[in-house]
Amino acid sequence: MKKDLLTIRDFDSKDIDRILKRSAALKLLRKQGRSYQPLKGKSLGMIFEKSSTRTRVSFEVGMYQLGGQALFLSSNDLQLGRGEPIADTARTLSRYLDGIMIRTFAQLTVEELARHSAIPVINGLTDLHHPCQALADLFTIQEKKKKLKGLRFAYVGDGNNMAHSLIEACARTGMHISLACPAGYEPDAGVLQGAGQDAARTGAEIALTNDPFQAVRDADIVYTDVWASMGQEAEQAERVRAFQGFQVDGKLMKAAKAKALVMHCLPAHRGEEIAADVIDGPQSVVFDQAENRLHTQKAIMEMLMAGKR
């Protein structure tokens, strides 16, 4: 049976463990300049309805390094953009490809695509989730802190797609997560409920506040993301007003542990959600995060498309 990655919760703790181990192994192989091509002769279709730098390039290069090829499919060029049903697109692409990565708006679109596809579907970001980024972030944290369980993860800012996948990732791996969001910008209730069930099993605590200092207190990791996500450009000015006091700056970082990691999925807006001296400072690991997208996604494709579980 094919397996998809639509949200973090599609991967059980054994899957996550394997992804983290394989990410490290694939990263080492790459460093040693050794070739490993389990996807020789296979093709990944990449449907993009939103912009991307990291996701596009890391999937495309990752697929090439694993011996396969990736096709960039802009929704403007696909018949999808002219109204061909998602189900027909899924059935058609399943006859040519070995996997589909999709970046789109509605999570329901990704679910529908997966339902009608005979091949694995990978969520490359929707308005609700960004599981590939969260898996790469787990790998980055484990590399730096040598563990996940029991760490204190603080998220400051918008209760958005990134927050949702991080909540799920923390809950699944036993990291405590504390989120500070302005009133009206809290995470999705359904995501919190689902993650709550995992947290009860792993011992993770999920806390929600409107006070960034409370969320960041004693944190091992301080994470933030843009205030206006792709598709919310019209709300930019209103959001800048609502998020005053939620910038990750030097003063806020003093509330965290001295060696806390500063994380951001990028792209970043310096001077808005994060101060320039913090994102460009010694605690920041944002470009390690960006690099690790490549290694983690290779591990994801190996698992889903070469059937290695």
Binding positions for ligand NVA, rule: CB under 6 A: 125, 160-162, 225-226, 229-230, 265
Decide: is 79 part of the binding site for ligand CP (CB under 6 A).
Answer: no
Location of structure tokens 């792209």: 267
* 53 interface partner picked from ligand NVA, ligand CP, none, CB below 5 to 8 A per type: ligand CP
Decide: is 55 part of the binding site for ligand CP (CB under 6 A).
Answer: yes
Instruction: Kindly name the residue from 130, 152, 172, 176 that is annotated as catalytic.
Output: 130
Decide: is 116 part of the binding site for ligand CP (CB under 6 A).
Answer: no
- Nearest residue (CB) to ligand CP, 52 versus 202: 52
Among 67, 30, 223, smallest CA distance to 130 is for 223
- Residue 170 is among the residues annotated as catalytic for this protein: no
- Nearest residue (CB) to ligand CP, 167 versus 199: 167
- Residue 37 is among the residues annotated as catalytic for this protein: no
- Nearest residue (CB) to ligand CP, 53 versus 236: 53
- Nearest residue (CB) to ligand CP, 70 versus 199: 70
Decide: is 54 part of the binding site for ligand CP (CB under 6 A).
Answer: yes
- Residue 133 is among the residues annotated as catalytic for this protein: yes
- Residue 54 is among the residues annotated as catalytic for this protein: no
d(CA 174, CA 199) in angstroms, rounded, equals 7
Instruction: Kindly name the residue from 265, 289, 295, 297 that is annotated as catalytic.
Output: 265
* 78 interface partner picked from ligand CP, ligand NVA, none, CB below 5 to 8 A per type: none
Token readout for 294 is 């490549």
- Residue 293 is among the residues annotated as catalytic for this protein: yes
Instruction: Kindly name the residue from 65, 107, 133, 297 that is annotated as catalytic.
Output: 133
| Residues 6+ away with beta carbon under 8 Å from 268 | 226, 274, 279, 286
Instruction: Kindly name the residue from 152, 172, 176, 293 that is annotated as catalytic.
Output: 293
Token readout for 308 is 């290695």
Q: Which residue is nearest to ligand CP (CB)?
A: 55
- Nearest residue (CB) to ligand NVA, 127 versus 220: 127
CA distances to 45, 103, 169, 177 from 148, rounded to whole Å, are: 33, 28, 10, 11
* 295 interface partner picked from ligand NVA, ligand CP, none, CB below 5 to 8 A per type: none
- Nearest residue (CB) to ligand NVA, 231 versus 250: 231
260 φ, ψ (degrees, to nearest 5): -60, 140
Decide: is 266 part of the binding site for ligand CP (CB under 6 A).
Answer: yes
d(CA 231, CA 160) in angstroms, rounded, equals 12
Instruction: Kindly name the residue from 4, 158, 198, 225 that is annotated as catalytic.
Output: 225
Whether 219 and 152 have beta carbons less than 8 Å apart is answered as yes
Write down the number of H helices and E strands in the chain.
12, 9
* 162 interface partner picked from ligand CP, ligand NVA, none, CB below 5 to 8 A per type: ligand NVA
CA distances to 19, 29, 146, 293 from 289, rounded to whole Å, are: 15, 18, 15, 7
* 229 interface partner picked from ligand CP, ligand NVA, none, CB below 5 to 8 A per type: ligand NVA
d(CA 237, CA 241) in angstroms, rounded, equals 7
Q: Which residue is nearest to ligand NVA (CB)?
A: 229
Give burial (CB, 10 Å; 0-12/13-18/19+) of 242: middle
- Residue 17 is among the residues annotated as catalytic for this protein: no
First vs last C-alpha separation in the chain: 12
DSSP-derived 3-state class of residue 69: strand
- Note the residues at the interface with ligand CP (CB under 6 A): 52-55, 125, 133, 265-266
